[in-house]
């Protein structure tokens, strides 16, 4: 086998590998969000999701596009009598588990021992006393939705 044909094979393998990796990356970025369950306790909503957007901007864009659907289908946000609400999106991960392990998030409204998830908050939306919407991307940043629709980053102190 000549060196030239060996170089062509290596290039072909690298090209195919790069194509597969790029395809996988697009699949990860474009797969739809799956809402597994919504649990409510007072004005706090826990939304269990699979395939949530990875970037802060993707999470915020998803919320802005889907907030009306969440209100219609799941009745969230459900503000307290004084107007405050918080919605936290949790990665569903490996599914429901028994309480067993320390610091799992458990849902008392489920009539089963498998009513807990690993605590992996991914994103939250809440309002403040001036009814402004705030976004927190865990592992990312904090953002404010301004009245003009602009989303700005800020640092909480």
Range of the domain at 19: 1-30
Same domain, 51 and 78: yes
Question: pLDDT band for position 22 (50/70/90)?
Answer: confident
Same domain, 23 and 44: no
Question: pLDDT band for position 110 (50/70/90)?
Answer: confident
Same domain, 65 and 134: yes
Same domain, 18 and 95: no
Number of separate domains in the chain = 2
DSSP-assigned letters across all residues of 19-32: HHHHHHHHHHHHSP
The pLDDT of residue 25 is above 80: no
Lowest mean pLDDT among 4-8, 75-79, 129-133, 142-146: 4-8
Same domain, 115 and 146: yes
- For residue range 27-59, what is the model confidence (pLDDT) as tens digits? 655 668 899 999 999 999 999 999 899 899 999
- For residue range 127-146, what is the model confidence (pLDDT) as tens digits? 998 899 999 999 889 999 99
The pLDDT of residue 13 is above 70: yes
Same domain, 25 and 38: no
Tokens at 122, concatenated: 């991914």
Same domain, 2 and 38: no
Same domain, 134 and 109: yes
Name the region of 51 (left: φ>0; alpha: ψ -120 to 50; beta: rest).
Answer: left
pTM for this entry: 0.78
């Amino acid at each position: 086998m000549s060196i030239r044909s060996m170089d062509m094979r290596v290039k072909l393998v690298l090209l195919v590998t790069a194509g597969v990796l790029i395809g996988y990356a697009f699949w990860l970025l474009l797969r739809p969000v799956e809402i597994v369950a919504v649990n409510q306790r007072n004005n706090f909503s826990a939304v269990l999701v699979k395939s949530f957007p990875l970037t802060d901007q993707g999470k915020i864009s998803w919320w802005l596009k889907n907030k009306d659907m969440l209100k219609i289908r799941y009745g969230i946000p459900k503000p307290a009598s004084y107007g405050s609400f918080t919605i936290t999106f949790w990665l569903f991960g490996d599914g429901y588990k028994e309480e067993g392990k320390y610091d799992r998030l458990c849902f008392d409204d489920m009539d089963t021992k498998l009513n807990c998830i690993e605590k992996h908050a991914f994103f939250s939306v809440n309002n403040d006393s001036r009814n402004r919407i705030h976004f927190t991307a865990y592992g990312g940043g904090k953002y404010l939705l301004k009245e003009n629709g602009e989303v700005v980053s800020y640092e909480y102190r």
